[in-house]
Structure formats: structure tokens, C-alpha cells
């Protein structure tokens, strides 16, 4: 599947010596841009949550750890949750377990 290939290639690039971050940058940019399109009134919040230059700087410095990943995903989830109908909250929560 294409999705599996994407994640496999990303993992391989991150394990290179030195790691390659181009695909990671592209994925984050794509995600940020799509969220801005969907939730345009939250653009500032989205750009703050997915601050690609800052994330890339942390990655290159070896400072983007598991907790950083959790915070990033939690921020994205909060943005999505804030912009959906309350009746969809349980579905979103279940999908992240």
C-alpha cells in the first residue's frame, strides 16, 4: 500500500546517518496546509502548533523527542476537536486510542 510505503520511507530516511528530514518537512507542511484550508479561522493556532522551522530545528539538534511528538499530535487533535460538532468528539477520541 502507498501509505505503508510512505511511512516506511520516512522511517528509513530518519534512520539514515545523518538523518534526512525532507520528507518529514513535506508531510508536516502538507498537514498544516490542509488543516488551514479546512479550519481557516484557526490559521494562527495551526501555524503555531505546527511550527515547521522550529520542529526542523529541534529535529536537527536531536531535541525533538517522544514528548515533543505527543505535544504536536495533542495540539492537532485539540484544533480538530474545537472545530467539529460535539457529537463527533467520541469518534475522534476513539480514533486516537
Cell 502507498 sits at which residue? Answer: 2
Read off the pTM.
0.76
53-91 pLDDT, tens digit each: 999 999 999 898 889 989 998 898 888 888 777 777 677
- pLDDT more than 70, % of the chain: 92
CA-CA-CA-CA torsion sign (70, 73, 79, 81): negative
Give the domain ranges of the chain: 2-95
Amino acid at each position: 500500500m502507498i501509505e505503508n510505503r510512505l511511512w516506511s520511507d520516512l522511517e528509513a530516511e530518519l534512520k539514515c546517518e545523518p538523518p534526512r528530514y525532507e520528507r518529514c518537512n513535506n508531510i508536516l507542511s502538507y498537514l498544516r496546509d490542509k488543516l488551514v484550508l479546512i479550519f481557516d479561522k484557526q490559521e494562527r493556532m495551526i501555524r503555531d502548533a505546527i511550527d515547521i522551522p522550529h520542529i526542523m530545528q529541534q529535529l536537527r539538534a536531536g531535541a525533538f523527542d517522544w514528548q515533543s511528538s505527543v505535544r504536536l499530535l495533542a495540539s492537532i487533535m485539540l484544533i480538530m476537536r474545537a472545530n467539529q460538532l460535539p457529537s463527533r468528539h467520541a469518534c475522534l477520541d476513539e480514533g486516537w486510542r
